[in-house]
Homo-oligomer: A and B are copies of this chain.
Amino acid sequence: MARPREFDIADAVEKAMNAFWARGYNGTSLPDLLDAMKITRGSLYKAFGSKKQLFLQSLALYDDHYVKPSVAMLQDVSMSGEHRLEKVFSGSVAVVENGDRRGCLLCNTSAGASSEDGEIASIVNDQLDRLTDAFFVALGDTTIWREKTKSRRRAEARSLSLNYVGLRVMARGGQQIEDLKMAAEQTVKRFKGAMT
């Protein structure tokens, strides 16, 4: 009978995800991961095979924990489209106000590891695209955008994605909270009215 594993795989992946989120893929070394995960080298390689595979699993967990719930929220018709979209932007500012400047694992990776590894890029872009699609859905439930053509809403969803990524990167890069807040609020006006 085999010796049982002493750690929980899902728990370990979550710890790795947080390490990668804080330091980026390239900036997170094996010792960093071992520290964060509280396991030894042999255990890490036995369970995950390689640093990259562990990163891919971290991206999948990020999807489960953050992207899918955000997409679901953006598609939740029990709330107005305005409210749903606003939650994304105000939420991104709120975490900074709470002292969390990690930004978004997808956005950080887009600017870093993606250009070195097409597989990573593909997975990251798939997640970002799903977020854009969810922006599109929520725009269809706003007073301002519901009556415009799908094509226009599609374009605006893409422009909102630029705002989202920009907001997350600027937050991570240390921009002033007041500036981030103002930028986010102005972005919100685009689907909430008062764009005059």
**Residues on A facing B (Cβ under 8 Å):** 23-24, 26-27, 101-103, 107-112, 114-116, 118, 121-122, 124-125, 128, 132, 148, 154-156, 158-159, 161-167, 169-170, 172-175, 179, 182-183, 185-187, 190, 195-196
Contacts and interface: CB of A to CB of B under 8 A. Distances in A.
A182 B161 CA distance: 11
A26 B112 CA distance: 10
A124 B183 contact: no
A158 B172 contact: no
B128 A174 contact: no
Contacts of A183: 155, 158-159, 161-162
Sorted nearest first, the 6 A-B pairs with minimum C-beta distance are A110-B173, A162-B166, A111-B111, A166-B166, A158-B183, A165-B166
Which applies to chain A's interface (DSSP): helix, strand, loop or mixed?
Answer: helix
Contacts of A121: 173-174
A31 to B, nearest CB: 16
Given A125-B173, A162-B183, A165-B165, 15 more contacts: A26-B26, A27-B112, A107-B111, A110-B174, A111-B172, A112-B112, A114-B172, A125-B174, A154-B182, A158-B179, A158-B186, A159-B186, A162-B162, A162-B170, A166-B167
Contact of A165 (B156, B169, B179): B169
Contact of A166 (B26, B169, B173, B179): B169
A114 B155 contact: no
Contacts of A108: 111-112
* Listed residue (A102, A103, A156) with the most chain B CB atoms within 10 angstroms of its CB: A156
